[in-house]
Amino acid sequence: MRDERLAAHPGTEAERRRHVADYHGMISLLDAQVGRVQEALSACGRDRDTIVVYTADHGLALGQHGLLGKQDLYDRRVRVPLLPAGPGLPADGRRADGLHHAYDLLPTLCALAGVPSPDGIDGRSLLSLIAGRPASARPFVHAPYRDVPRMACDGRWKPIRHYRSGGGRGTERLQLFDLAADPWEMRDLAARCGEQVARLAAELVRWQREVGDPLWRSCRDPRATARGPQVPMR
């Protein structure tokens, strides 16, 4: 279940460079095809009543943290692009800063189209955030990957709790990163920032309980930072 298993071990610089080159090639190809879509919409006059959204479901490690694929919760995998364009949206290239989930896109598109959002969904419209009201953003975002890591983030501070694969056998390690000072997540501050660890680890456990994640029971102390490898590699 790990992409590193598809590569030589230990990994080589040449292989990592090949993956990065392939990734940039795919970006260039996709950019050209999105351009064709936009040109077709303009040619038939539908660009004035069509909303186009470019996004993705995950990023790739491409050698960062010694990893290759998508099976972790570092920011280069969980942060994805969201580039909407069309009627009702700013056309000046502005950036809207604020935490949100991908599923917030559905109520946003409903609002732009003038139709009600479906009942019972967890998403919330991003139009207030796009309009420059950051207070409408989420205070936290959370994410799981299968039965191994869990994360929470308040926009700056981000803990990642790594469980042993299989679940229920305790915490292998809890990491804490300051994304403002360390956007590449290279400096684990869990042992030095106890207040932030306690606050955000407790928030992570609260969310796990709320969504019925069985792994929250395997760590009685949400601040625990058991020693162990950063990420199981093999």
Distances (CA, A) of 174 to 35, 105, 109, 177, 193: 43, 31, 37, 10, 12
pTM score, two decimals? 0.84
Q: Which amino acid is at 100?
A: H
What local confidence, expressed as pLDDT, does residue 169 receive?
55
10-residue averages of pLDDT along the chain (234 residues): 78 88 95 95 94 92 86 92 91 89 95 94 93 90 91 96 68 89 96 94 94 77 44 30
Other C-beta atoms lying within 10 Å of the C-beta of residue 17: 12
pLDDT value for 105: 95
- Domain range summary for the chain, segments of one domain joined by +: 1-86, 100-136, 139-234
Q: Please give the pLDDT value at position 200.
A: 95
Surface-to-core class of residue 40, CB atoms within 10 Å of its CB (0-12 exposed, 13-18 middle, 19+ buried): exposed
Q: Please, is 160 exposed, middle or buried when counting C-beta atoms within 10 Å of its C-beta (0-12, 13-18, 19+)?
A: buried
Q: What is the pLDDT of residue 231?
A: 35
For 154, the 3-state DSSP assignment is coil
- Architecture of domain 139-234 in this structure: 2-Layer Sandwich (3.30)
pLDDT score for 229: 34
- 3-state class of 143 per DSSP? strand
